Structure 1
Amino acid sequence: MSDAMNRAARYRAQRDAGEDAADSPAGEPPMVLNARNKADFVETAIQVAIRRGEFDDLPGAGKPIEGLGTTHDPDWWIRRKIESENLSGLGPPALMLRVEDRGLDADLDGLGREEDVREVVEDFNRRVIEARRQLLGGPPVVTRPRDVDAEVRAWRMRREAARAAAERETDAVEHPDAGQRRLRGWWLRGRRRPAE
């Protein structure tokens, strides 16, 4: 900050604090910053910088902060660290259950039998209930137990959708021009055929 701006900020802080600038000897700063007037000095310096445009066109201006999401999560920084470092088995159970809850559908999709799906969901629910009963401190457990029957139904639906997509892909590989024949037939349906 230049000397003129520094003096202006000190003058404003001194004026707001009720001190007299004439009491200061010439050649010395008109005041010493203390706890009472430091906030005024800083505020004046910020306002001067804003007027000069030093805060214009900063990177990320007007954009949402990356990774915050739409819901309030007081432990966002711990969750982000666990995800970025790919840590597992560390941290309070509440956070580990949140991470597991987010990836549970993908884990269930890797299973082949309904009994295995039920077993995994029941084990997850048991651990959620245990974590809620513990009074060890740390963040609260906000992860909810899952409905076993609803998870099995969702697993079946995802499995059937994946099977249908795989069949369509296999059919397209085995008969690559089947779609072209249908398209060609559609195209020619409404047109008159040339006389041969």
Structure 2
Amino acid sequence: MGWEGKDEVTVFPLMQRYTFWLAARLFLSVEDPSYVAWLADPFQLLASGIISIPINLPWTPFNRAIEASNLIRKESRAIIKQRKVDLIEGKASPTQDILSHMLLAMDEDGKHMTELDIADKILGLLIGGRDTASAACTFVVKYLAELPAIFEQVYKEQMEIAKSKAPGELLNWDDIQNMKYSWNVACEVLMLAPPLQAAFKEVINNIMFNGFFIPNG
């Protein structure tokens, strides 16, 4: 991840790179690191343009975002076309990833989604997997660095699970379920530092937080 041999790291860019790579692998089964790194650049332009002033001139972030989204759709459709061939030839599994599921899913009329619809949905998933997840992971690292006692408990839990695995054995769902303390820490971080800072929330019950009274409603 680029952390090795460094006394100090800037976490957020590294987390963006990691979560985008993970999303590309889970959604599209793309594992080539050089291709994922290349694809991350237009996604950065797209993410910047989403919150920009919608002026479509060549020098504006909005225009660059449109061009980036067109490039991403083009690349996505190429991946989609190849996956169709792989599914027909048995080189890909129907349950391999979200892309395979979308290609095989049908609506109530028995119709499949178009390639453009799938490309748009994949684009949305990759954007979501890149920004909010990376922000959440960054804040987890921040709070663990600031709270060494909490870090030690998380580390202890993770090492216990790691030691229970055979060499080369991957994590499974039961292992994830056993990360109860780590999950509680992640939930607390999400409460203290929501990835979407501008999202509005409604207080269900009256609460006290950091000495402040917050009424419901």
Answer whether TM exceeds 0.5 for this pair. Answer: no
Where relative contact order (Cα < 8 A, 6+ residues apart) is larger, the structure is 2
Tell me the TM-score normalised to structure 2 length.
0.24
Tell me the TM-score normalised to structure 1 length.
0.26
